[in-house]
Chains A and B, each alone.
Chain A
Amino acid sequence: MRKPLVLRHPSILVFLGVLAVFTVAVTILSTGYGTGPISTSMVKTLGKTLCLALAAVAMDLVWGYAGILSLGQMAFFALGGYMIGMWLMVARTEGIVTGTLANLPIPPTDTEISAAVATQIFGVVGSDQFPLIWAFSGSLWGQLLMVVLVPGLLALVFGWLAFRSRVNGVYLSILTQAMTLALALYLFQNDSGLRGNNGLSGLQNIPGLDAVGQEKLSIWFLWASAVALGLGYLLIAWVASGKFGSVTRAIRDDEARVRFLGYSVEGYKLVVFVLAAVVTAIAGALYYPQAGIINPAELAPIASIYLAVWVAIGGRGRLYGAAIGAVFVSMLSSWFTGGRAPDVNLGFYTIKWVDWWQVLLGLSFVLVTLFAPKGISGLVDWFEGLRPPRRRGAALGPDMGSLREKEAVE
């Protein structure tokens, strides 16, 4: 009888504990349910950050554990947001439209309601018809299912094609990047049926919950995001810990050897890729109702690269590292660009962080990659006294995604 998962990996318990304490603390300090020092916009930012952390944890499964540097993860994230956004828009508009049409002397037919809703939603793109892809948008459960199904299917088809043809390493990275670029360009078109560059907006107003108020809703979403992060973390930790996880890590370090041992490398990769896509999509579905608007710019290739960078800065191959990286960098980024960081006066030149933050961020990627491959979680190893194995500079395996000597733990 093996010990339970959480006892084998105490970091899981610590992570969940910190998450719980954090969520409760924010709630107590919030405007909606507590004393009020944390503003609603801050609560929203924190809730969104938890969603990003979940996406980063999923990214870590793909990259840190399976060695696939996918630069298209945000496509799944945004697709999740689009799927839930469709229901939010339709349900909200339907409420408004039925309210208006009820004032007419003659009660409206279903066709008239549907046409009026379509005019409201697609008026901005000069259309008054529901496109085919909105078929299930009237039903919350239908769209919730789509949140999982659409990104999952995309990942399945894309992954199956790519892994089957043994596209890997850098090629796969560029291909995933092309995937998200193609999707973004497609969505940018007005004819795409998802309102082009305008995207879906007003998502923070949850139909039927108008009376609740954003200060309370933001806390609800914070809790939802925290629960999703907790569960997602557990699930991915469970997947990555058992025999399945061992095979996955072996594929990361030396794919050919695993294949010769008789494992279906493609199958393993595909499961990991699809699972990560689904988790990312769920994170996206929780993120965008807090952000309020989703548009194709969210799928730009650069967003997915940032996701990879967060994982790298947090520490690849440890789930808590990915979460820490996402939280740390995105919070720091919002602090610097929010104009809150004090300017540095050098006498001859004043450094305004709004202008220089990107430069600092860029250079810190370089430095972390070069000198601190473990990223922030290296601090944890140092604290715990864990050391990398001595392999005379050799990586754990010949593959591109394999862990480096300095990244591994003995």
Chain B
Amino acid sequence: MRLFLLALAFVALALPFAAQAQSPDLGAVIAQHRDQIEKPSRQSVGPVIEAIAASGPLGAALLQAWGDRLLAIRKSDGLLVITAPDGDGLTLTDAATGAGLGAAAEGDVTLLRPNSGVRGVISAALAGNALSDPDPKRRIEALDSLSRRADASQLALLRQALDDPDPALAARKARLERLLTIQYDPDPAARITAIESFGGDSGLDFRASLNPILTTRRVALEQVPADANIARKLSLGSDLSRDEAYAMLVADGTAPARLTSDAMRATLAQHIADGMVGGVSLAQLGDQAARDRAYTALETQGIVQPAASEAEVDAALSRYNFLDLYAEPDADVTTSARAALRGTETRIGLMQAADLSLDALSLASIYFLAAIGLAVTFGVMGVINMAHGEFIMMGAYTGYVVQQFITDKTVSLIVALPLAFVVTFAAGVALERLVIRHLYKRPLETLLATFGVSIALQQLAKNIFGTQARPLTSPAWLDGALTFNDVVSISYIRIAIFVLAMVFLGLYLFIMNRTRLGLEVRAVTQNPGMAASMGISPDRINMLTFGLGSGIAGIAGVAIGLFAKVTSELGSDYIVQSFMTVVVGGVGNIWGTLAGAALIGFLQKGIEWFNPANTLAAQTYMILFIIIFIQFRPRGIIAAKGRAAGA
């Protein structure tokens, strides 16, 4: 109904454009609708816009400014002006006459702020004409506006403006024309042709124009009219429960309501006489059976309305047909739309699976990135570092601090990544030298000591940076998403994290397997005594390895801060999951960590898919699964074998 009224308004609005009627005085229009212009509402602004638009090019300019939030009221005399930013101040133009009014300061005017609903109506009103505007930007805006809200009248305007110098825009126009045809063309044959022209297309906009055709409403009818476009006949019991069906009849007012226990109590309470109701004493009525007896007694005395019995309910239900009816009267159109929609289902399902896999892959790469530092310190060295999360946090804060000094986001990122490594490498080395070195054979004590470091660092971060989350903004080229189609897309920042995770995997493999450092690390891990007698300094190697693991955590921190948030609690959000990633995967093997991260990521997204309303449940069951998994594979997915297993 509302849509229809709007449509009417637009028809009326579009006509003057086409006819180029003589323009009434804009000043008078403004004066007449002044309060609507100052405080517009989407539902009532239509006629105002129509009147303004009817006043010619000045009116169009006013609408454009209004939509762009450049319309203002001059405080000195209450004049409606169009503003244009000019340096620190504004340049004013009289909205009614188009006369220049010179410069003014921002404080001299009150800017009008129409809400986005009103702006939508304004841009839709301007869209019809803007479709053939010489400026391609305006044409794109007009198309955007039309694809958000359009109606039958604009279908006509669009058909007139289908030619476009830009082939991409011409294609968009043609597609939009077919979409609008599906919805608004009066000729069913044209609509069916348009539906079929899309073939197996699974675009969101296509489905969005099909689904409204297929909306149904549920009715209970004694007689089914011959022209009814029936979507489905409902059979009682399987499609619709008896209670639901009867409730429909009650709601329609065609059957008496059943007696609820509340209603029964209220009725009984109305008929208390001498401490008795229907021959049953009040004290006994704390029992349902006694209440039933009392009510039946009242019924037989004819004092109360008899409640609908089961037999009456059955009789009423058998008289009615329960149907889902299409709102669209034409059966051919609905059949065609249904066929088209069904054709897209499999594709959509596959694409959703693909999108979910991308999400899972992304989550896995985040877990992997958070855990890869641990894979070095815990996996290789066997050191439990509970402050690992705080190293991630330090990395993120490093990124934030760098952005305070270097405003160019790309440069700051290039500086922040190595700097985060340096900072956390140094912190890691310090921690190793001061604390962990003394506790190499005592992993449980290491756990407690590093936990102490962790809470101290967290509180320090709070003292330095405050408790508020700090902004860490990604460069513009990481904004947005890689969109394959309307369903499958992944944001660039997640791709970047994935790439970073892969780079680190490569780096780790290279360092461990191809460099002298890696050789020495492996030697020290397997047998420190023997390594020392071969001239390797275990002290130095341990320090470097721990620093390396910590440094990687710092870089991970920058990445995680870019996609999520930078707070002092950032690290503690990841620490338990990170340890589980390493343990599930199998300690001492980077491929295990990779497998662990993948398992956790895919598992979590899988559970989320089963229960989309509750993300918390997904996390709970994921951890539960891990606990059980470790009971049966205590050494993880990829267990270390041979001598390394004992180390």
Contact = CB atoms under 8 A, between A and B. Distances in A.
Interface residues of B, number: 58
Contacts of A171: 583, 630, 634
Interface stretch (A14-22, A160-168, A283-291): A160-168
Say what secondary structure dominates the interface of chain B: helix
B630 A107 contact: no
A191 B614 contact: yes
A365 B449 contact: yes
B316 to A, nearest CB: 28
Contacts of B485: none
Contact of B288 (A109, A161, A174, A355): A109
Contacts of B438: 370
Contact of B579 (A112, A174, A185, A308): A174
A209 interface: no
A169 B378 CA distance: 13
Contact of B623 (A182, A361, A401): A182
Contact of A185 (B455, B620, B631): B620
A363 B579 CA distance: 23
Contact of A369 (B386, B445, B626): B445
B624 A182 contact: yes
A369 B463 contact: no
A181 interface: yes
Contacts of A169: 443-444
A308 B438 CA distance: 20
Contacts of B286: 106-110
B632 A106 contact: no
B449 A178 contact: no
B476 to A, nearest CB: 37
Interface in B532-550: none
Given A169-B443, A359-B459, A182 B627 contact: yes
Nearest to B437: A370
Interface string B441-461: 111110111011111111110
Interface string A346-375: 000000000110110111111001100100
A175 B630 contact: yes
Nearest to B614: A189
A106 B265 contact: yes
A2 to B, nearest CB: 33
A308 B449 CA distance: 11
A355 B435 contact: no
A323 interface: no
Interface in B90-118: none
Contacts of B282: 105-107
A136 interface: no
A175 B580 CA distance: 8
B416 to A, nearest CB: 26
A194 interface: no
A301 B441 CA distance: 24
Contacts of A182: 620, 623-624, 627
Given A305-B451, A370-B449, A105 B463 contact: no
Interface string B353-391: 000000000000000000000000000001010100000
Nearest to B630: A175
B252 interface: no
B444 A185 contact: no
B444 A309 contact: no
Contacts of B447: 69, 170, 173
Of A106, A175, A185, A186, most buried by chain B (CB within 10 Å of CB) is A106
B251 to A, nearest CB: 23
A189 B576 contact: no
B564 interface: no
B444 A106 contact: no
Given A181-B576, A400-B444, A369 B620 contact: no
Contacts of A178: 576, 580, 623, 626-627
B454 to A, nearest CB: 7
Contact of B634 (A158, A167, A191): A167
B616 A185 contact: yes
B370 to A, nearest CB: 15
Contacts of A164: 631
Given A69-B444, A174-B580, A363 B452 contact: yes
A323 to B, nearest CB: 18
A110 B286 CA distance: 7
B354 to A, nearest CB: 29
A189 B617 contact: yes
B644 interface: no
A243 to B, nearest CB: 26
Interface string A116-152: 0000000000000000000000000000000000000
A167 B630 CA distance: 8
Contacts of A69: 444, 447
B282 to A, nearest CB: 7
B272 interface: yes
Contacts of A370: 435, 438-439, 449
A181 B632 CA distance: 20
Interface string A56-98: 0000000000000100000000000000000000000000000
B268 A362 contact: no
Interface in B505-558: none
B283 A107 contact: yes
Contacts of B631: 161-162, 164-165, 167
B549 to A, nearest CB: 16
B449 A165 contact: no
A300 to B, nearest CB: 10
B619 interface: yes
A166 B634 contact: yes
Contact of A170 (B444, B462, B628): B444
Contacts of B442: 395, 400, 404
A177 interface: yes
Contacts of B626: 178
Contacts of B308: none
Interface string B280-311: 00110111100100000000000000000000
Interface string A300-314: 011001001100100
Contacts of B620: 182, 185-186, 189
Q: Which 10 A-B pairs have the closest CB atoms?
A: A365-B452, A362-B456, A358-B459, A107-B286, A182-B623, A369-B449, A362-B455, A362-B452, A185-B620, A161-B631
Interface of A: 69, 104-112, 158, 161-162, 164-167, 169-171, 173-175, 177-179, 181-182, 185-186, 188-189, 191, 301-302, 305, 308-309, 312, 355-356, 358-359, 361-366, 369-370, 373, 395, 400-401, 404
27 contacts: A69-B447, A105-B272, A106-B269, A106-B272, A109-B286, A161-B628, A166-B634, A169-B443, A171-B630, A174-B579, A175-B583, A175-B630, A178-B576, A178-B580, A182-B623, A188-B616, A312-B445, A355-B459, A356-B463, A358-B456, A358-B458, A359-B463, A362-B454, A365-B451, A365-B452, A366-B449, A369-B452
Interface of B: 261, 265, 268-269, 272, 277, 282-283, 285-288, 291, 382, 384, 386, 435, 438-439, 441-445, 447-449, 451-460, 462-463, 572, 576, 579-580, 583, 614, 616-617, 619-620, 623-624, 626-628, 630-632, 634
Given A164-B631, A191-B617, 19 more contacts: A69-B444, A112-B261, A165-B634, A170-B447, A171-B583, A173-B444, A175-B583, A182-B623, A185-B619, A186-B620, A301-B576, A302-B572, A355-B459, A362-B452, A362-B459, A365-B448, A366-B452, A400-B442, A404-B445
